[in-house]
Structure 1
């Protein structure tokens, strides 16, 4: 039996994103990805424990590609940017929102951590930071297809509510 050629983790993730864009999540499979890379499916499992781990890496790369370099001092400006980046990353890829939602369901901490950190810098206690971060991720997931002006208005309303909550909490 012929051995699979060596394939790098970064190549697998890049091809997986291309496959996602071409076929969506429904048409995405480990076998199809292996065929695309010209390797046996077992070569993928050398880098990823299972399909969920690979999808997590794909989602992380999709989000990483959406990050904008910026130095933001104000917690509310950072929250705004993080939510907009999340939405933009989901919109950039076919079934991006479904992918991010799937990974978030398995590991909510990865998306919520930076939002929670910004809220804590704004003075939120642990509960408000946790619930606020979770709410912002769910907001971005559920408003992924909104028109830009509607999304911006709705995000402003949500962030205004969080800011008001923090003022009352102090």
Structure 2
């Protein structure tokens, strides 16, 4: 039976499944093509580069983030972003690399801007970078625990993760944006 044709959505869904199975370091275009039973060059019909594919994967990861017009505060939006990142193995790292290269949609940042009383873009970006960094640390700790790289006699590094996250989000909730003199 000849391989079926794939569209962008099915390629991204397969990439997400592989991300959960093998992690970002082992998610290659070659592996994805083999999983889809196509030649690697076929993937470039939909995505000009691996970074473009990862941007689409990042956008899919962040699909669960509330729309920017939602009447939600920073704690709810920040928590939804964190939950979306944690839903996939290495989800924070994928989104962080896409954000660093300014690829993909700005759904999370726009939702954060809308959640702040000041609607300040720089403050929203700072909150997003905190969420990305915090969630990356949590995912790295989870991975270390899963492979036995954490000393079992030491305290659980994830025990206070929620408390630290909430403290960080609260710190952004009360900060006024810095205005530069004209």
Which TM class, normalised by the smaller chain length? 0.7 to 0.9
Instruction: Could you list the structure 1 runs, at least 4 aligned residues long, displaced by more than 2 angstroms after superposition.
Output: 66-74, 79-82, 111-119
CA displacement at 1:33 relative to structure 2: 0.2
Partner of 2:65: 67
SS at match of 1:59: helix
Is 1:91 aligned to 2:74, yes or no?
no
Q: Unpaired runs of 5+ in structure 1?
A: none
CA displacement at 1:5 relative to structure 2: 3.9
* TM-score normalised by L of structure 2: 0.73
User: What is the alpha-carbon distance in structure 1 between the residues aligned to residue 27 and residue 99 of structure 2?
Assistant: 18
Give the conservation status (yes or no) of the 8 Å contact 1:4–1:40. no
Partner of 2:157: none
- The Cα RMSD (Å) is 2.6
Partner of 2:163: 149
Q: How many residues are paired up?
A: 152
CA displacement at 1:82 relative to structure 2: 2.3
Q: Are the structure 2 counterparts of residues 130 and 67 from structure 1 closer, same or farther at C-alpha, using a change threshold of 3 Å?
A: closer
User: What is the alpha-carbon distance in structure 2 between the residues aligned to residue 101 and residue 83 of structure 1?
Assistant: 15
Q: Unpaired runs of 5+ in structure 2?
A: 139-159
Task: Decide which structure has greater helix share.
Answer: 1
Question: How far does the alpha carbon of each residue in 1:118-137 deviate from its partner, in whole angstroms, 9 at most, with x for none?
Answer: 44xx345xxxx122011011
Is 1:135 aligned to 2:126, yes or no?
yes
Q: Are the structure 2 counterparts of residues 107 and 86 from structure 1 closer, same or farther at C-alpha, using a change threshold of 3 Å?
A: same
Q: Are the structure 2 counterparts of residues 114 and 62 from structure 1 closer, same or farther at C-alpha, using a change threshold of 3 Å?
A: same
Aligned ranges 1:1-170 → 2 under 5 Å: 5-64=4-63, 66-67=64-65, 72-73=70-71, 77=73, 79-107=74-102, 110=106, 111-119=108-116, 122-124=117-119, 129-144=120-135, 145=138, 147-162=161-176
SS at match of 2:15: helix
Q: Are the structure 2 counterparts of residues 73 and 4 from structure 1 closer, same or farther at C-alpha, using a change threshold of 3 Å?
A: closer
User: What is the alpha-carbon distance in structure 2 between the residues aligned to residue 135 and residue 69 of structure 1?
Assistant: 19
CA displacement at 1:68 relative to structure 2: 5.1
